[in-house]
Structures are given as structure tokens and as C-alpha cells.
Amino acid sequence: MEGFAGFMSLLSLALIVFSGFALFDAAIRREDGFRAADKKTKPFWLIVLGIAFVVSLIFPVLSFLPIIGLIASIVYMVDVRPALRSLPGGGRSSRGGGSSSDGPYGPYNGGR
């Protein structure tokens, strides 16, 4: 039984790390990227993934709520994140990156 308990604690840790990474990744993405990718809004995903993270910290792995949180994290990672990464700039915040002449469709070249 000790082996099973050790496996369950590793599985719980993996779930916490996975949902934490999904939450962190959603937090660094730009707000308009979610709208441009035609996904829900950034606050929606931050709330859903935040709840999934907290639930994975509080409840054991085999209960019902962490499995729902795992499903939400998986949906973000396989559907929303690739759509955001396919946007120009990868959907990340442009703190210090890019030029001041960059428009929504790329750099502005003055009509040349």
C-alpha cells in the first residue's frame, strides 16, 4: 500500500504542477489574443484555471473536483494555448518587445 500512496502523491504533485503551468501560461498571454483566437476571455480562463489550481491543492486526486479541474487544464493546453501561440507574437505580452511602428498586422512601412 505504500507504493500506491507514493504513486498517488506523485500524481497529485503532477496535477498541481500541470494546472499551475496552465494558469501561469494564461496569465502571461495578451487579453486581445483570446478575442483574436475566438476563445473565451482572459479573465474567464484565469478564473477557471485558478479554481482548478486551488482545487488540486485542496482535494485528493481521486475525488471528483480535481478531475474536472484537470479537464479544464487539458482543454486550455490542447485548444486555447495552441490558438494563442499561432497568433503573431505568440499571444504574449509585448513588454519591451516589438517596435512602436508595429500595427495589428505587422510593422508599418510607411506605404512603401
Kindly report the pTM of this predicted structure.
Answer: 0.75
φ, ψ (nearest 5 deg) of residue 94: -100, 60
pLDDT at 105: 66
Which grid coordinates belong to 27? 496569465
pLDDT of the residue at 60: 85
- What pLDDT is stored for residue 3 in this prediction? 86
Buried b (16+ CB within 10 A) or exposed e, 30-62: beebbebbebeebeebeebbbbbbebbeeeebe
Q: Which residues of the chain have pLDDT under 70?
A: 90-112
- What is the reported pLDDT for 88? 81
Tell me, what's the pLDDT at 70? Answer: 93
> Facing residues of 106 across strands?
103
